[in-house]
Amino acid sequence: MTTLLETIDHSLKQRPEAIAFQYQGERLRWGELDQAAHALVDELDSQGLHPGDRIACGLSAGLELPVQLLAHLRAGLIHVPVNDRYRDAEIDHLFELTGPAACVGLARRPSPTQAHGVPDDAALILSTSGTTGQPKGVLHTHRSLQAGIGSLTRLWSWSPTDRQVLALPLFHIHGLGIGLLGALMCGVTTELLPRFDAALVCDAMNKGGTVFMGVPTMYVALVEYFETHPEAARSFSNARLCCAGSSALSSDTLRRFEEYTGQRILERYGMSETLITVSNPLNEERREGAIGHPIPGVEVHIEGDSEGELWVRGDTLMHSYWQDPKATSEAMTQGWFRTGDRVRKDDDGYLHHQGRLSVDWIKSGGWRVGARELEVLLEAHPLVREAAVFGVPDSRWGELVAAAVVLNRPLDDADQVLADFIRPQVADYKVIRRWVVVEALPRNALGKVQKRRLLDQI
């Protein structure tokens, strides 16, 4: 079986003079990327880093990131992407969790710790969303990345003739995994944007872009931009693949984007622990409201026959939760990863996402937000006796983060006091947008908080 590095090296050597990545007018050719990554491997070795060491990377979009990622893979280091929207407490936890031996793009001192049971081909640690407290680390290997990203890009027919416009954040599996690593594996020329902006995306796509990946809020913003700049829709005339994931895409946005651009958005499904495991087909029907079929090499099982929890099995699965065998075993059943997502299979075999089984997952603007992480923070405030965090449906963001709190004493501006307390501690997409003060949290006979009953009070 071809390894991940063999796949990437083949791409690098195919067209050494061709543009690999460009960013704000600067260009990096494949041959230059190859040489820079080899030089960085030597530098990392001179620093005393060894295979299996973690290296925390706080770089955002730019030409240095693909060089760093490739060098880390070649050196056998474990790349730990750091969300550039994290605040100090969140970064502190990530460092405590992973114990990086080195940092890049961060004004931090490394905090090396000894790790146990690390596979020889360990490659990447992604952060989960903290649904049961603090986020966990998802460990992927060269093998799982080769299997998952390789299968997906083959399914989507990625090739060196493609030109990708990448405006996604480059620290989770969507932007870093499919976008950046997929480009390295397939030799896809990629224009990196510093942030998502509808005008910037259209300008980049107008230069011959064939692939664009986004989350639903990006497509909403693009459709709104086309309403006032209808000529901008022509920038997608060369596109052959526009895909969406991370949260549900409304039928209205799907229809209006297609009316403006002629492009039918391809929806897919995945998560950090499994990579992208389900996708609508490239050349057959992309069914509205469906996430599609399992990609080649992935098995799915619905616990409950045609509707129920989605289980996934295959080489794309994570190796483990980083240094957490208990959490790993709790998430697995005889080789199946239990996703916690409810799906329905229609008569033609298309899977339809029906939401999370647990209300402790909130999907806002494509971001997964863990309710328990925020509840722990709220309950640390002396004003709060109890707290329940949950999602409120929203047409633009999918869900807004909301909180119901029981106070230790009455306070008229409690929501503002607590918002000011939470805001400096978490990434901006986790900020609580809706508040309600209640005398008691609704509970069932077993004492479990019934969060769905709180929706009526927002």
Tell me, what CATH number does 397's domain have? 3.30.300.30
Q: Provide the pLDDT for residue 447.
A: 58
**Residue 119 belongs to some domain of the structure:** no
Nearest by Cα to 44 from 84, 103, 115: 103
> Helix or strand or coil: residue 229?
coil
Q: Provide the pLDDT for residue 130.
A: 53
Per-residue pLDDT averaged across 373-381, rounded? 88
Q: Provide the pLDDT for residue 403.
A: 95
Average pLDDT along the chain: 93
The confidence band for 444, taking pLDDT boundaries of 50, 70 and 90, is low
Nearest by Cα to 37 from 49, 27, 28: 28
Per-residue pLDDT averaged across 311-319, rounded? 98
The confidence band for 20, taking pLDDT boundaries of 50, 70 and 90, is very high
Strands 163-166 vs 122-127: parallel, antiparallel or unpaired: unpaired
Residue 81 has pLDDT above 70, yes or no: yes
Per-residue pLDDT averaged across 356-372, rounded? 79
How many Cα atoms sit within 13 Å of 187 on the Cβ side?
17
What percent of the chain is predicted at pLDDT more than 90? 78
**Residue 97 belongs to some domain of the structure:** no
**Residue 387 belongs to some domain of the structure:** yes
Per-residue pLDDT averaged across 34-42, rounded? 98
Per-residue pLDDT averaged across 265-279, rounded? 96
**Residue 128 belongs to some domain of the structure:** no
The confidence band for 129, taking pLDDT boundaries of 50, 70 and 90, is low
Per-residue pLDDT averaged across 91-117, rounded? 95
Per-residue pLDDT averaged across 182-211, rounded? 98
Q: Provide the pLDDT for residue 305.
A: 78
Task: Write the Ramachandran bin of 310: left for phi over 0, alpha for psi from -120 to 50, otherwise beta.
Answer: beta
Domain with 388, as residue range(s), is 361-457
**Residue 32 belongs to some domain of the structure:** no
- Number of structural domains the chain divides into: 1
Q: Provide the pLDDT for residue 249.
A: 82
Residue 131 has pLDDT above 50, yes or no: no
Per the CB < 8 A criterion, the answer to whether 67 and 32 are in contact is no
Per-residue pLDDT averaged across 197-212, rounded? 98
**Residue 419 belongs to some domain of the structure:** yes
**Residue 382 belongs to some domain of the structure:** yes
Residue 115 has pLDDT above 60, yes or no: yes
**Residue 422 belongs to some domain of the structure:** yes
The confidence band for 342, taking pLDDT boundaries of 50, 70 and 90, is confident
